[in-house]
Amino acid sequence: MAAHQVHHLFHAPIADHSFSSDKKTLAVARENNVELYQQSGNKFALSDELKGHEKTVTSVDIAPNSGRIVTCSQDRNAYVWEQTPTGWKPTLVLLRINRAATFVRWSPSEQKFAVGSGARVIAVCYFEEENDWWISKHLKKPIRSTITTLAWHPNSVLLAAGSTDSHARVFSSFIKGIDTRPEPSAWGERLPFNTICGEYLNDTAGWIQGVAFSPSGSALAFTGHDSSVTVVYPSAPEQPPRAMLNIATRLLPLNSLIWNGETEIIAAGHDCEPFRFCGDENGWQLAGSLENKAGEVRGAREESALNMFRQMDLKGQAQADTKLKSTHQNTVHTIRAHEEANGVVSSFSTSGVDGRVVIWNV
């Protein structure tokens, strides 16, 4: 496994991060602003700041093709930022929510984006040409609590959402005039807006923190506060799933996950390192950490008796062990595919509370 790249940007939590499609621009949500970093050499340097939100920015996403950036914040607003010759120009999107916006993602078609919120709704937003305005439509039923995470199906119509009511749901966000009618699949045949194509609760019922569709879109994985990953294979519309597999891990809870092909999931969270899960419809298991800690060499400092007593005198302990052995020094919030081809991920990026963005080779 080749070495991973660590970019320690600042000493503040990163709520979310997103790379542009050429991987040269990195957007990170830092407090009330979004900072844009530009690659120079093998480093990322601060190039611009997107200022406009009045409270903590919770999520940021760069559309790969159009390059537009969407951000959302606890101030209940979302902005779409477009690059103009004079800099980034924000457009306010009226979300019509009365609680914080928690999560935003562009649909793969880039015609729409979805915003999760604490107001128990998902705002699906699309651009209306005649009014030159972003419109939001609400997915409401049967959400009982805050939406914490969202993921788009490759067809840009189905949307998976995880919530603090412990359910992962699959909705249709079909909008006439914007979307082309999706092919019927195991999730559903006719899919008017707000069709509930699936509603899943695992036995141990934790808050859902991460959801993801498999590359083909025919399986859904979600993880939550119960330290488990659940994979759902739907059978047919309105039928119970063909298989619903739960992997209860011995780890701390996981926050975010991505698929790598149809038989592998990479997830990271409170254990500060990414883990690999392997399996298929017949069973899944934890394959291990992607972090190579075996070759860890402790500081090249000479371990003399003098040094030991000096450390004990200065710090009250022989060896300072305030540093974690993992690359991330705190909880990982977001994991995203960095480079992928046909659903197979060759590298992925993680960001977290420690202010680091790490690019990992698979």
Partner 1 sequence: MSQINYRTINVDALDPESSANFPMESLLPATLPQAASASDAASAAAQVRQMLRGGDPEGALRTVLDTAPLGGDDRAKEVHLATVIDVLQGIRQGEMTRILEGVCSGDGGAERADCLMKYLYKGMSSAAPGSGTQTPKKPVSPQDTGFSQIQARNLGEGGGGQQMSVLLSWHERLVEIAGTGSIVRVMTDRRTV
Of 94, 175, 196, 248, which lies in the binding site for partner 1, with binding defined by CB under 8 A?
248
Closest alpha carbon to 184 in 211, 159, 157, 161? 157
Q: Which helix (H) or strand (E) holds 305?
A: helix 305-315
Residue 91: exposed, middle, or buried by beta-carbon count in 10 A (0-12, 13-18, 19+)?
Answer: middle
- Is 250 near partner 1 (CB under 8 A)? yes
In the complex with partner 1, the residue whose CB is nearer, 35 or 226, is 226
In the complex with partner 1, the residue whose CB is nearer, 151 or 247, is 247
In the complex with partner 1, the residue whose CB is nearer, 98 or 317, is 98
95, two tokens: 């979300």
Of 102, 166, 230, 334, which lies in the binding site for partner 1, with binding defined by CB under 8 A?
166
Q: Which stretch binds partner 1 (CB under 8 A): 126-134, 162-170, 273-281, 322-330?
A: 162-170
- Is 228 near partner 1 (CB under 8 A)? yes
Residue 219: exposed, middle, or buried by beta-carbon count in 10 A (0-12, 13-18, 19+)?
Answer: buried
Q: Which of residues 181-220 bind partner 1 (CB under 8 A)?
A: 201-207
Q: What minimum distance in Å lies between the beta carbon of 202 and partner 1?
A: 7
Q: What minimum distance in Å lies between the beta carbon of 103 and partner 1?
A: 19
Sequence-distant (≥ 6) Cβ neighbours of residue 17 within 8 angstroms:
26, 27, 28, 29, 60, 334, 336, 349, 351, 357
Return d(Cα 273, Cα 83) in angstroms, integer.
35
Q: What minimum distance in Å lies between the beta carbon of 205 and partner 1?
A: 5
Residue corresponding to tokens 């690019």: 359
Is the distance from CB of 31 to CB of 58 less than 8 angstroms?
A: no
Residue 353: exposed, middle, or buried by beta-carbon count in 10 A (0-12, 13-18, 19+)?
Answer: middle
Of 249, 349, 350, 351, which lies in the binding site for partner 1, with binding defined by CB under 8 A?
249
Q: What minimum distance in Å lies between the beta carbon of 143 and partner 1?
A: 11
In the complex with partner 1, the residue whose CB is nearer, 236 or 248, is 248
Q: How many residues are present in the chain? A: 362
Local structure of 346: helix, strand or coil: strand
Return d(Cα 260, Cα 214) in angstroms, integer.
8
Phi, psi of 310 (to 5 degrees): -65, -45
Radius of gyration of the chain (CA): 21
What is the Cβ-side half-sphere exposure of residue 327, based on CA atoms within 13 angstroms?
Answer: 24
Of 210, 253, 274, 355, which lies in the binding site for partner 1, with binding defined by CB under 8 A?
253
In the complex with partner 1, the residue whose CB is nearer, 118 or 182, is 118
In the complex with partner 1, the residue whose CB is nearer, 176 or 250, is 250
Of 110, 165, 280, 339, which lies in the binding site for partner 1, with binding defined by CB under 8 A?
165
Q: What minimum distance in Å lies between the beta carbon of 249 and partner 1?
A: 5
- Is 227 near partner 1 (CB under 8 A)? yes
Q: Which stretch binds partner 1 (CB under 8 A): 2-10, 70-78, 248-256, 354-362?
A: 248-256
Closest alpha carbon to 234 in 246, 212, 219, 213? 219
Number of residues that bind partner 1 (CB under 8 A): 23
- Is 145 near partner 1 (CB under 8 A)? yes
Phi, psi of 67 (to 5 degrees): 75, 5
In the complex with partner 1, the residue whose CB is nearer, 127 or 207, is 207
Q: Which of residues 110-139 bind partner 1 (CB under 8 A)?
A: none
Residues of this chain that interact with partner 1 (CB under 8 A) are 144-145, 165-167, 201-207, 224-228, 248-253
